Homo-oligomer: A and B are copies of this chain.
Amino acid sequence: MNEIRIIEVKQSVFASNDKRANELRDLLKEKKTFLLNVMSSPGSGKTTTLSLIINRLKEKYRIGVMEADIDSDVDARTISKNTGVDAIQLHTGGMCHLDADMTRQGIESFENWADYDLIILENVGNLVCPAEFDTGAVRNMCILSVPEGDDKPLKYPLMFEVSNFVLINKIDVLDYFDFDIEKCRENIRYRNPMADIFEICAKDGRGIDDVCEYLIKQIEEWRN
């Protein structure tokens, strides 16, 4: 297992986060690098899901992963161990989200970031604040897990409005929770009629192939 580098990123002094996000996106487009921003509650399965996705895509694409957390390097270690791709840990200095400039600091801390076809940002586990800041990502992916409840899109509107696609995770435990998957889809679409929705189980891999196929389409579109 590689040594995990920990990068302390600092909140931007730039008022215009949207401008900085667009600048980052332009740069990524120029370098043909796809940036995927992954958001969810704590413990909904971001790291496990990403490990599965990365293992399916790593032969096709060069991949770098940025794990954002307030503390610990648990996730970067896990990604590195599970997939072998380059993973760095970003510490946010107590901040509950990443803005575009913090994301750029992370990206630029890779040795040769422009060599990556795909950079994945695992954002801080939080359904509120990360949704408020455009990171410069090409696509936003949100994971909602069955134990959290089907009403979450009603309570956290912005997260579901800004997510291009949503993975409903832990469908293996549907029987043990009061979770109506059709109601959940309806709640997601109420917030975002354009959202693509996938049902997955990161524990046994169900649904991950469909997500990868979808992601490949998005990445190819961006790079061409």
Q: Which residues of A contact B (CB under 8 A)?
A: 41-44, 69-72, 74-75, 94, 96, 124-129, 132, 145, 147-149, 151-152, 154-158, 170, 172-173, 176
Cross-chain pairs A/B with CB under 8 angstroms, 13 sampled: A41-B125, A42-B127, A42-B152, A42-B155, A43-B152, A70-B157, A70-B158, A71-B154, A71-B156, A71-B157, A75-B155, A96-B129, A129-B129
**How many copies of the shown chain assemble into the complex?**
2
Given the known inter-chain contacts A126-B126, A129-B129, please indicate yes or no for A94 contacting B158, CB distance below 8 A. Answer: yes
A21 to B98, CA, bound (A): 28
In the complex the two chains form, is B156's CB within 8 Å of A173's CB?
no
* A173 CB → nearest B CB, Å: 5
* A21 CB → nearest B CB, Å: 19
In the complex the two chains form, is A74's CB within 8 Å of B173's CB?
no
In the complex the two chains form, is A96's CB within 8 Å of B94's CB?
no
In the complex the two chains form, is B41's CB within 8 Å of A155's CB?
no
A173 to B43, CA, bound (A): 15
* A55 CB → nearest B CB, Å: 18
Given the known inter-chain contacts A69-B155, A147-B173, please indicate yes or no for A96 contacting B126, CB distance below 8 A. Answer: yes
Residues on B with beta carbons closer than 8 Å to the beta carbon of A69: 155
A217 to B155, CA, bound (A): 33
In the complex the two chains form, is B96's CB within 8 Å of A128's CB?
yes
In the complex the two chains form, is A72's CB within 8 Å of B173's CB?
no
* A99 CB → nearest B CB, Å: 15
Residues on B with beta carbons closer than 8 Å to the beta carbon of A96: 96, 126, 128-129
Residues on B with beta carbons closer than 8 Å to the beta carbon of A132: 94
- Partner of A170 from the list B44, B70, B147 (CB cut-off 8 Å) is B147
Residues on B with beta carbons closer than 8 Å to the beta carbon of A129: 96, 126, 128-129
Nearest B-chain residue to A150, judged by Cβ:
B43
Output the residue of A41, A44, A151, A152 with the most chain B CB within 10 A: A41
* A211 CB → nearest B CB, Å: 20
